[in-house]
A and B are shown apart, each in its own frame.
Chain A
Amino acid sequence: MSLTTSTLEPDLVPDDGGGRDPMTSGSLDGAPMWGIRLGSIALGLLGYVAFGSVNWALWAVIALATYMVATLLVSRVVESPRQATDRFAAAVMTSAFVVVLFPLFSVVWTVIDRGSNRFDWEFYTSSMRGVIGEGGGGYHAIVGTLIVTALTAAFAIPFGLFTAIYLVEYADGGRFAKAVTSLVDVMTGIPSIVAGLFAYALFVVLDDVPVLTALSTGVGHRSGLAGAVALTLLMTPVVVRTSEEMLRLVPNELREASYALGVPRWKTILKVVLPTAVSGILTGIVLAIARVIGETAPLLVTVGITADVNWNPFEGRMATLPVFAYNSYKFPTLPPEASIDRAWAAALTLVILVVILFSIARILSSILKPKGLK
């Protein structure tokens, strides 16, 4: 999912593609097509008036079906069969798009609607310590999410970035580089829960090695560090992929110009290549953080959940927003409504964090773009 946008201009594909002679056949361009669209919507409304009950799904189904069939028939009569197929295809694709909007908007709306029940000061300032029933909040989970995500970023960004630098700047398409590239692909496909199990298994073994007791995570092998290791496994390949893509976009002439001036390779990378690619790389990194910040499954098995704030990622369980949302919903305390409201508030907080990260990515990519490439 790269960030490049279309270079295709819409007028490349004219609306009244060939096959039709305007002198001998009618045209449905403009008003007639809108007539069909509005007519379909009206018919859908009529449909449910006749049935006497409000059913939005039925209304949408009737309207979209009418739209597709009417377009096909009318165009066939007024225009040519080829034109009719063309219009029908357009109608199908528009309908598919409209259908998809329903669940997607429903998700967004539900999160905002339900999440706003507890979108208050108390939720963001208090933990669940000693809270039974109503009240309480997700402060401990927000702290946990920020700590675990920051640790993950601290591991995955240098790891991923240097791997990308190796692949683009140093590797000459050798066996090793090919192996690394395909293994990055494998890593991209690791299911998140498997990453969690790996981190758990790793820390179980580490705990048994006497020398490494400094890393010991206490009872149950749960710690923020283990969670960060699991998330690093998920974030690194994304960082490698986007950074690699961006580094490859840097024109070779820039490197050669720098070498010609006698600048050593590492300084060329640091002062010429990276600054040129920095907007793309940073955007990719921010989007990668957005991807891992909502991961639930790996944190469920490695970090667990607790009711209190835990600032120490090296010892003991920690609450994180996704696990907090899941736990509050799955194992509600009495009254259940209070728990479920907290779950939704945590979900809303997560979505807000993702949207903020996306906005940062967008802003970064526009302000950091090197002047020559704008």
Chain B
Amino acid sequence: MTTLESPPSDNDSAFDEPVGKAGDKVFFGLSFGAAALILITLAAVAFFLFIQGLPTFTGDGTELDGDGSFFAYVGPLVFGTIYLSCIALLLATPVAIAVALYISHYAPRKVAQTLGYFIDLLAAIPSVVYGLWGITVLAPVISTSMFPWLRDNLGFIPVFGSDVAIAQSGRSTFTVGVVLAVMVLPIITAISREVFLQTPRLHEEASLALGATRWEVIRQAVIPYGRSGVISGAMLGLGRALGETMAVAIILSPARGYFWDVLTAQNSNSIASNIALQFPESSGLEVNRLIATGLVLFLLTFGVNAIARRVANAGFSGADG
């Protein structure tokens, strides 16, 4: 990946000296080439997905199941993707913030370091493992204990109350939401902890000097400083949840269409999980259609990440201290 053509000249280097000039040129060429390759790679991603997705629209639609309309096909998938991710985020974010605050401001320092390491490790556990855990351990437990309780006591909330029977197997939107929450929690926690720890010491000491309690220090100094970091951490978690494939593919029992109920066995699938489930058995135009849905997912996560970066860059106005 680093074989490159003739390196561009290094005119603006202030240290162009006869000694080692060739070495300088080669080294600059390599690094410039690598940076340029980033641009080329991303252009290639968009280009090849587009080229391979395009036949969905130009090809013979009768080859496909359904009415062959791409938007009728991708609509429920987009809905499912966003719905699952939002459930995960709603469950994970408050807990992640509390855990991050616990690690950064409550736990003893030695313990906090170990906990931070443990959280990082959990963020690196492969998603297929979380998927297997979700279907083997979590689904049976919450479908027998929590599902009936939610339906009976919180049935007045439309997504819980349902005429359709609850999924006995636990292969429902709610279970996947919980598993995704467990998966994104380490990510949001790690980023939040990082920003909470960066709170300027003077801000905290100023607050303490005014007689604030620990909670008041957090409310006055830590949270205002870390807010944008937490939001961008949550958005990164959302980006991860949107693209999460294996846990959804293993646990969810999918159906075609838009389904709001979270406890039933009929659920809207996510784009990524649909690709993983369909791809190995697809051929011809079906493959092209799956690639086109992949492009939609790419644009979706791109949008979310762009917002996350904008929030992160907005930052804390007094952060120079």
Contact = CB atoms under 8 A, between A and B. Distances in A.
Given A10-B109, A93-B101, A300-B276, A290 B301 contact: no
A282 B130 CA distance: 28
Interface string A51-95: 000010100000000000000000000000011011011101110
A167 B39 CA distance: 13
A85 B215 contact: yes
Chain A CB count within 10 A is highest, among B10, B204, B291, for B291
Nearest to A297: B245
A189 B243 CA distance: 9
A189 B95 contact: no
A251 interface: no
A53 B48 CA distance: 59
Interface string B161-187: 000000000000000000000100111
A158 B38 CA distance: 12
Interface in B199-248: 201, 204-205, 208, 210-218, 236, 239, 242-246
Interface in B262-321: 272, 275-276, 279-280, 290-291, 294-295, 297-298, 301-302, 304-305, 309
A294 interface: yes
Interface stretch (A29-37, A106-114, A124-132, A308-316): A106-114
Given A6-B109, A103-B182, A325-B128, A264 B15 contact: yes
Nearest to B120: A1
B125 interface: yes
Nearest to B205: A12
B34 A163 contact: yes
Contacts of B86: none
Contacts of B74: none
Contact of B34 (A15, A106, A158): A158
A368 interface: no
A169 B15 CA distance: 12
Contacts of B26: 266
B136 A162 contact: no
Contact of B125 (A7, A264, A294): A294
Given A6-B109, A93-B98, A86 B245 contact: no
A329 B124 CA distance: 21
B65 interface: no
Interface in B40-89: 41-42, 44-45, 48-49, 51-52
A243 B27 CA distance: 17
B252 to A, nearest CB: 12
B223 to A, nearest CB: 11
Interface in B7-41: 10, 12-13, 15, 17, 19-21, 23-24, 26-28, 30-35, 37-39, 41
B90 interface: no
Contacts of B106: 90, 93-94
A197 to B, nearest CB: 4
Contacts of B130: 107
A197 B275 contact: yes
Q: Which of B116, B249, B279, B290 has the most CB of A within 10 A?
A: B279
Task: Indicate the size class of the contact surface on chain B.
Answer: 35 or more
Nearest to A259: B15
A355 B121 contact: yes
B126 interface: yes
A185 B182 CA distance: 24
B157 to A, nearest CB: 20
Given A201-B291, A264-B23, A300 B124 contact: no
Q: DSSP class of A's interface residues: helix, strand, loop or mixed?
A: helix
A197 B290 contact: yes
Interface in A224-281: 232-233, 236, 240, 259, 262, 264-267, 269-270
A96 B31 contact: no
A264 B19 contact: yes
B243 A326 contact: no
Contact of A189 (B10, B12, B245, B305): B305
B201 A8 contact: yes
A180 interface: yes
B98 to A, nearest CB: 4
A294 B239 CA distance: 18
B243 A13 contact: no
B178 to A, nearest CB: 8
Contact of B128 (A187, A202, A326): A326
A121 interface: no
Given A193-B275, A236-B38, 10 more contacts: A55-B145, A57-B145, A93-B98, A93-B106, A100-B99, A188-B305, A197-B294, A294-B127, A297-B245, A362-B117
Interface of A: 1-2, 5-10, 12-15, 17-19, 55, 57, 82-83, 85-86, 88-90, 92-94, 96-97, 99-100, 103-104, 106-107, 110-111, 114, 155, 158-163, 165-167, 169-172, 176-177, 179-180, 182-195, 197-198, 200-202, 204-205, 232-233, 236, 240, 259, 262, 264-267, 269-270, 287, 290-291, 293-297, 300-301, 304, 322, 325-326, 329-330, 343-344, 347, 350-351, 354-355, 358, 362
13 contacts: A86-B214, A96-B94, A107-B129, A162-B30, A187-B42, A191-B298, A193-B243, A194-B301, A197-B49, A265-B13, A294-B126, A297-B272, A326-B131
Interface of B: 1-2, 10, 12-13, 15, 17, 19-21, 23-24, 26-28, 30-35, 37-39, 41-42, 44-45, 48-49, 51-52, 94-95, 98-99, 101-109, 112-113, 116-118, 120-133, 135-138, 141, 145, 182, 185-187, 190-191, 194, 197, 201, 204-205, 208, 210-218, 236, 239, 242-246, 249-250, 272, 275-276, 279-280, 290-291, 294-295, 297-298, 301-302, 304-305, 309
Q: Which 4 A-B pairs have the closest CB atoms?
A: A294-B126, A191-B243, A18-B211, A162-B34
